Structure 1
Amino acid sequence: MSTIVPVLLSLLLLLSPAVSQETQDGPYSLTFHSIGVSTLAEGLPGFQATGFLNDQPFFHYDIESGKAVPLGPWRQVEGMEDWEEVSKRQKARGDFFLKNLKDIMDYKKDRGNHTMQEKFGCKLRNNTYCGAFWTVAYDGQDYIKFNTEIPAWIPLQKAALNTKVKWETEGSVQRAKASLKEECPQMLRRYLQYSRIYLDRQDPPSVSITSHVGPRNKRTLRCLAYNFYPQPISLYWTRASNVVENELWGDVALSENGTYQSWVSVKIPSRDTGPYFCHVQHSSLAQPLTVPWNERQEVSVEDAAES
């Protein structure tokens, strides 16, 4: 019996049969991230897994607590899962996972502490399967991946040839293909019945502007957008209707509350009073925001709305 296929199949068993319901638009994705370590370290569980709907984590499990717990708004969702049963099956899944890690260490003749990471999932658009993936990494380097079209396991390191032969000899190919192209989309359709309200939401950004004078008599203007969802956003500065070129950008970061934040800053001479404006474009806004910088008073998006 394959040791890696049950890792996915045991996860699929966490769910009751899919309930038929049209799922339109999207794309929507269901993804699972798992990591295991060969030697326990303080504060780091030997195995943990997180499930994501689109970019939103909806449950987490770690072998130390032995519990799978819903995250974010899914804490309030009734009937989506029996989390005690999920916890039991995730423990079994962790055992399979760590055995696979030990096998890889044997192939590579490694000792000491090593890690294995796994990501797999699928996508739907207009209720139709439109892609899936399954990748395994060892110590942060891609090790092996599954190609659903061939289908076959594709080794990405020399030692992974041993893994490919073992898994394919044990008959994992067709089961893995069915898991990704059939069972995973069914899981996603079922989850979307409980989750579209969170995944389709439009949370408008709050905006604040700060400034400070640094070395060489330069002032930094920083425009921060926060508490927005979904992720795509456009931020830029203008001075007297001209786009300012020398901008510094912050990455779009996911906050603990499931929303995003990002920022853009510009350096100007400290005596330059502008006028400077921060422009914010987001799908939740009927029209872009234009937020002025006032050197006498920092502003928020509420100030801009009133002006």
Structure 2
Amino acid sequence: MSTMVPVLLSLLLVVGPAVPQDTQNKPYSLSFLYTGVSRPKAGIPSFQATGFLNDQAFLHYDSKSGTAEPLGPWKQVDGMVNWEDESQLQQARQDIFMETLKDVMGYYRDRGNHTFKGTFGCEIRNDSYCGAFWKYAYDGRDYIEFNTEIPAWIPLQPEALNTKVKWETEGSVQASKNYLENECPDMLRSYLQYSRPFLDRQDPPSVSITSHVTLGLIRTLKCLASNFYPQPISLYWTQGDSVVETDSWGEGPISENGTYQSWVLLKILSLDKGPYSCHVQHSSLAQPLILTWNESQ
């Protein structure tokens, strides 16, 4: 079996720092998630790969289509990736990744349905390398990871010692370190030439308040912020000048258009007339956004 490391090395895509003055210190990352399943259900690919620039998915490949395709706003970008070449590259990596899954199953003497995942990426800040990671998991348990300082592959399960010996015998250590610390950041800088407008954007939240009464006794107020980017946001309730302790909060996964949503819930007696105010703070807002609820709403 060919070594898995050089294949995955070139899989990494990296993201670098922003050009605008107010984002000079912002870190940018490129990462990949690979997933292989030994016995996938009908209609489910046995292998999938997704590439991320920061938290934005920009590339997808799976064994069912055999094609690497851009995602989100990168569908409109020309010249960043040669998608025909990328498809061929991902097909080759798929073969090696799935071979490795078979090897790992052999080390555990396992048959049946098993899952192998690989996550790896690097980060730059101020145009300089500032970190990287590379690890694998088998059936949801950490299996092996790369340490750039030693450098070496570190087994996280007894069976992973077999993988360490195999990969290091094949000369993967220096290749892995060089990719994470040199090739990966260079690739990141290249992608940033096309991607900064998407990664540095500021999309303000749309905010709404809903009210729902349960059993005629308790009213639940929900303050929902949606369609915002980047992800960090602060939501809280006040009554008068005092912050009110909330019952729960939540946030949704990134949407198809690359934005987020978040909410905070407040439970009060149904006879309580308020008013209560929801405060929203986000980097896209020059000042906090405040929406007020009272019984007449």
Q: Answer with 278-287 or 163-172: which moved more.
A: 163-172
Q: How far apart are the structure 2 equivalents of 1:87 and 1:115?
A: 22
CA contact 1:6–1:93 (8 Å) conserved in 2: no
The one-letter code of the counterpart of 2:187 is: M
Are residues 1:286 and 2:272 paired?
A: no
Map of 2:196 onto structure 1: 196
Which amino acid in structure 2 is aligned with residue 76 of structure 1?
Q
Match of 1:178 in 2: 178
CA distance in 2, matches of 1:295, 1:6: 63
Aligned to 2:11, the other structure's residue is in SS state helix
- Contact 1:61/1:68 (8 A) holds in 2: yes
Contact 1:213 1:219 in 2 (8 A): yes
Cα offset, 1:288, TM superposition: 0.2
Separation in 1 of the partners of 2:221 and 2:68? 43
Q: Distance in 2 between matches of 1:241 and 1:270?
A: 22
Tell me, in whole angstroms, the C-alpha distance in 2 between the residues paired with 1:34 and 1:11. Answer: 10
Equivalent residue, structure 2, for 1:231: 231
TM-fit CA distance, 1:232:
0.4
- Map of 1:98 onto structure 2: 98
Deviations 1:211-250 (A, max 9, x none): 0101360000000000000000000001122111133111
CA contact (8 A) 1:22 1:127 kept: no
Contact 2:275 2:295 in 1 (8 A): no
Give matches, 1:130-279, under 5 Å.
130-215=130-215, 217-279=217-279
Distance in 1 between the 2:245 and 2:66 partners? 52
Structure 2 SS opposite 1:253 = coil
Query: Identity of aligned pairs, percent?
Result: 68
TM-score when normalising by structure 1? 0.91
Q: Tell me the CA shift for residue 8 of structure 1.
A: 1.8
Q: Does 1:55 align with 2:55?
A: yes
Question: 2:27 and 2:9 mapped to 1: Cα distance?
Answer: 24
> Conserved in 2, the CA contact under 8 Å of 1:8 and 1:179?
no
Tell me if structure 2 keeps the 8 A contact 1:253–1:262. Answer: no
CA offset digits 1:3-35 (Å, max 9, x no partner): 2113224536x99xxxxx989432000000010
Q: What residue number does 1:68 align with?
A: 68
CA distance in 2, matches of 1:59, 1:143: 25
49-58 vs 234-243, which moves further = 234-243
- Give distance in 1, aligned partners of 2:140 and 2:230: 29
| Structure 2 residues without counterparts, runs of 5 or longer | none
Pairwise CA distance, 1:251: 2.6
* CA–CA distance in structure 1, aligned partners of residues 105 and 10 of structure 2: 23
Partner amino acid for 2:181? K
The match for 1:44 is: 44
Question: Per-residue deviation at 1:275?
Answer: 1.1
> Shift of the alpha carbon at 1:42?
1.3
Q: Which amino acid aligns with 1:147?
A: N
1:113 deviates by 1.1
**1:53-92 deviations in whole A, cap 9, x for unaligned?**
0000001000100111100000000111111111111001
In 1, distance between residues paired with 2:223 and 2:96? Answer: 48
When normalised by structure 2's length, the TM-score is 0.94
Cα RMSD for the two superposed structures: 1.8
